[in-house]
Amino acid sequence: MLGELVAHGVIFLLMLFLYVTSMSFPILNIGGKLGAAWWPQVVLGTGMVLILLSVFFTVRKNQKGLSGKSKKITKKEMVGLLTSTAIFVFALLMLRSIGFLFVCPIIVFGFMYQLGARKPLGLILVPLISALVFTVLFGHFMEVSLPRGMGLFRSLTYYLY
């Protein structure tokens, strides 16, 4: 139940933060008092009331012993989530400097390893081939302006797209 309450708390705080931020929007009176803040405040206000209601139901259910299957996130799941997120965040941070062509193998290698691939040949070939295929397909044929990176990395991409 604690995890569920924390999730409610996080959503509530985010909504409260947005609500407070919306209070600084300039009020323009067009057709009544419907400025830019009106709708976000209606939605966020309703959302916060609903969260309080949901917390009440969750606690009551728990007291009555009706909460059913435990929704606890295990340590293993947490580690898995953090590792996956870390790989992705690292790749995204590198994107501006090394570009999509070189970030691709990092993502593919990282996740292949995370998902249980252990054969060295596969771990080398699949990331390289997929990086080339995705870059040529989307960058060259589909004309998506994929990030090129900087310096040498940038120059190399011009051979492909």
Partner 1 sequence: MEHILGGFAFALTPANLLFSILGCLTGILFGALPGISSAMGVVLLLPFTYGMNGITAIILLVSNFCGSTMGGSITSILFATPGTPEAVMTVLDGHPMHKQGKGGKALGLAVSASVIGGLFSTILMLFLCLPLSKVALKFGPAEYVALALLGLAAITGLGHGSMVKTLISCMMGLALATFGTDEITGITRFHFNSTTFMNGIHFIPVMIGAFALSEVFMQGMTEIKKSDLSVYKKIKVEFMSKAEFWKYKWLILKSAIIGMFIGVLPGTGGTIASVLAYSEAVRSSKYPEKFGTGLPDGVIAPETANNASTGGAMVPTLTLGIPGSGTTAVILGAFIMHGMRPGPLLFITQPTLLYAVFISMIIANILLFFGGIYGVKSFAQVSRLPYYVQGPMILLLCFVGSYALSNDIGAVWVMLTAGVAGFFMKKYGFSVAGMVLGLVLGTMLEENIRKTLIITGGEWGGLFFRPIAGPIFLLCLFAIAWPMIKKMLEKRKAAKAATTGSTGN
101 binds partner 1 (CB under 8 A): no
Q: Residue 129's closest CA among 154, 115, 112, 142?
A: 112
Q: How far apart are CA 148 and CA 154, in angstroms?
A: 5
90 binds partner 1 (CB under 8 A): no
Q: Which amino acid is at 31?
A: G
111 binds partner 1 (CB under 8 A): yes
Which of 143, 152, 158, 159 is close enough to bind partner 1 by CB under 8 A? 143
138 binds partner 1 (CB under 8 A): yes
In the bound complex, what is the minimum distance in angstroms from residue 137's beta carbon to partner 1?
A: 8
List the Cα angle 30/35/46 in 5-degree steps: 130
Of 18-37, binders to partner 1 (CB under 8 A) are: 18, 21-22, 25-26, 28, 30-37
# residues near partner 1 by CB under 8 A = 68
Conformational region of residue 83, where left means phi above 0, alpha means psi within -120 to 50, and beta covers everything else: alpha
Which of 16, 40, 97, 156 is close enough to bind partner 1 by CB under 8 A? 40
